[in-house]
Chains A and B, each alone.
Chain A
Amino acid sequence: MATSAEGLNQLEELKRRTHPIRAIIALVLGVVGLLFAIGLSISFGAANISLGTVWTAVFHFSSDLTEHQIIREIRLPRVLGAALVGACFAVAGSIMQGMTRNPLADSGLLGLNAGAAFMLAVCFAFFPGMSYMYLIMWSFVGAGLGVVIVYGVGSLAKGGLTPMRLVLAGAAVSALLGALGEGIALYYRIGQDLAFWYAGGVSGTKWSHLQILTPWILVAMIGALILSRSITLLSLGEELAIGLGQRTVVIKVWGMIIVLILAGAAVSVVGAVGFVGLIVPHLARYIVGHDYRWIISCSLVYGALLVVLADFTARIINPPYETPIGALIAFIGVPFFLYLARKGGKEL
């Protein structure tokens, strides 16, 4: 067996290609950028508020001031929601890409988006007037449904769940759930309501939602960071990972659970904003090399940054209307993706 010797060589290679210093600089810059973007996003809006006021509103809150109220009750939860959603999508995307060794993989592949959209259509059609909270929860259930079907089909298959089979099953399940959702939307004439719901993005986020979502997301994020080393190994190839003594099945199952929690939470809040999970990990890989410990942490920060900025732009571009955040991100994402496709280097 030459595998383990080869594997060690590849690991050496990997070490040489990762750039810890660049990664740390990128992380620090990212965090600073994120904090700045959050501040910016809070201070701009229908009523402009100075950054100083933002500071005092957060750290020396006074309930008598309207500005403080706006910040506390409307803008802060919204911007935190955007940051969380972005971080979730990006981390889920990088886990998917690492585990499937497919640079085009993102959480939509697992039937997550279609599942959430389907469930949302069901809720709109049969339980009109359902509260935001329940809608999010049911979307999450839908996302889980999608993943369970994709995985179920994959694991029933002889020869197990190959990345190719995963992709095909994901496409079929997405088509199925998507069609069902579409059918319901057409029949009950709720398609446009759904579109408005998705266009709203993170605007409806409240503290109570954050309170429920944040613990889950935090746990999943920590899980992702713990898994990251194993994902680096998996990204070199399954056989190699097994050869190096990894229990790949366990890692994959945990990976999927984490992806489900992260992407499921994000999808249920803003709908399928696909490009975040696709581009950010690419960008991260470009900056920090191939070590998933760095890729995942960078994705976390930059995903959050991207969505916060997108949400900010969505608000100011055509006030008082909100531009759909998914469209905005696609506006940045499509050219970037085209550039990657054209460059056609080893990255893609």
Chain B
Amino acid sequence: MSHHAFLTASQQKTRKKHFIILGTLIVLILITFVISMNTGVIKLTPLEVLRTLFGQGDAQQQLILFEFRLPRIVVAILVGMGLASSGAILQGISRNALADPGILGINAGAGLMVMLFISFFPSTAAAPVYLLPVLAFIGSGMTAIIIYALSYKRHEGITPMRLLLTGIAVAAGISSAMIVLTLRLTPENYQFVATWLAGSIWGSNWKFVLSLLPWLIILLPFIYSKSRILNVLNLDELTAIGLGASIEKERRWLLAASVGLAGASVSVSGGIGFVGLIAPHLARQLVGAKHQILLPVSALLGGLLVLLADTIGRSILEPSEIPAGIVVAVLGAPYFLYLLARLKE
């Protein structure tokens, strides 16, 4: 930080505030992490959790923590980070506060694919569910490509407005296809698909962590490296061009990154759409619109939110579980409404 001298006192204060917010979020994630480790049918004390984490627990404790709870927690955090970052990018480039990964047809496409796949099998038990994340990812990717192609126009390329409108239309079309399919599913299969759609962290073993992690490891640094460009794209189009941003090219890359992040997340979590909408909003309230800080704060908020939601969903109605997507909406929406009522702008 060699140029502190150029910052006014209040800018330094803002900087400090940003670090405090980042730190607080990490601490909150850690706290939720420990609580989540203790949540489940078999109770473990925080001390036992810590001991087991450091290799001092007995075999059963190790099995529960390392094979069941830990991967699920990690998946929850990663999914939240991915969806929130995806939403932050979309809101940035579309300058539309309502944009979320759902707009790109991610949820709808993945959902349709899952439903189609399941409908071919007489029961969920007969279906090779390990294929689901791959299929879901293919579904969301294909939908995103279709939406992109439909909103692309020669000479003009992609405009954010047209992308949003096309996304809404395609998602609506897919949803109605799903309504038709719904009626043909067996009740058991329906229940499975409905749970999937509601967004539950069902892919909870290390394989899913491994399938998710590469996307985040590659794409999160990529989008952070584009912070500066996102800042400019977030202004109006003419100003962005005037500043020398190749908006068409940058938009395409950022959209692709956004699809990758959301698609990978949705493939293991189902439709937790609301995180992508709400986390960037909250982050903007906390740290403003500069993407260098907005992106990491959104990601951490998203991770925290999904982890918290999953933990609550697992514990509140034991032994049955409430999908995290539902808990996120039930927790997030009232807060969002409160913000809306309180804010001037």
Q: Which residues of A contact B (CB under 8 A)?
A: 104, 149, 153-154, 156-159, 164-165, 167-169, 171-173, 175-176, 178-180, 182-183, 185-187, 189, 191-192, 195-196, 198-199, 274-275, 323-324, 326-327, 329-331, 333-334, 337-338, 340-342, 344, 348
Contact = CB atoms under 8 A, between A and B. Distances in A.
Contacts, number: 148
A342 B337 contact: no
Interface string B184-196: 0101001100110
Contact of B180 (A189, A324, A348): A324
Contact of B340 (A172, A189, A329, A338): A172
A245 to B, nearest CB: 28
B329 interface: yes
B203 interface: no
B289 interface: no
Interface in B315-333: 317, 320, 322-323, 325-330, 332-333
A182 B182 contact: no
Contacts of A196: 183
A95 B4 CA distance: 55
Given A344-B153, A348-B165, 13 more contacts: A175-B277, A176-B330, A179-B325, A179-B329, A182-B198, A183-B198, A186-B326, A195-B182, A275-B172, A330-B172, A334-B170, A341-B165, A341-B169
A186 B333 contact: no
Contacts of A198: 179
Contact of A274 (B172, B191, B328): B172
Contacts of A172: 332-333, 336-337, 340
Contact of A168 (B97, B161, B176): B97
Interface in B66-102: 97-98
Interface in B166-216: 166, 168-170, 172-173, 175-177, 179-180, 182-183, 185, 187, 190-191, 194-195, 198
B329 A104 contact: no
Nearest to B271: A182
12 contacts: A153-B337, A158-B343, A165-B340, A168-B98, A172-B336, A173-B337, A186-B195, A189-B187, A198-B179, A324-B176, A324-B179, A334-B176
Interface of B: 97-98, 150-151, 153, 159, 161-162, 165-166, 168-170, 172-173, 175-177, 179-180, 182-183, 185, 187, 190-191, 194-195, 198, 273-274, 277, 317, 320, 322-323, 325-330, 332-334, 336-337, 340-344
B151 A341 contact: yes
Contact of A333 (B172, B183, B323, B333): B172
A275 B175 CA distance: 12
| B interface: dominant SS | helix
Between A154, A185, A195, the greatest number of chain B beta carbons within 10 A of the residue's beta carbon is seen for A195
A178 B329 contact: yes
Question: Shortest 3 CB-CB distances between A and B: which pairs?
Answer: A179-B329, A176-B333, A330-B176
Between B150, B169, B194, B344, the greatest number of chain A beta carbons within 10 A of the residue's beta carbon is seen for B169
Contact of A323 (B170, B180, B328): B180
Contacts of B175: 330
B340 A159 contact: no
B176 A169 contact: no
Contact of B341 (A156, A192, A324, A342): A156
B145 to A, nearest CB: 15
Given A330-B172, A342-B150, A180 B330 contact: yes
A199 B191 contact: no
Between A153, A167, A275, the greatest number of chain B beta carbons within 10 A of the residue's beta carbon is seen for A153
A286 B127 CA distance: 49
Given A104-B165, A192-B185, A327-B177, A342 B172 contact: no
B340 A168 contact: yes
B329 A176 contact: yes
A199 B182 CA distance: 10
Contacts of A173: 333, 337
A179 B326 contact: yes
B205 to A, nearest CB: 23
Nearest to A192: B190
Contacts of B168: 104, 337
Contacts of A329: 176
B159 A344 contact: yes
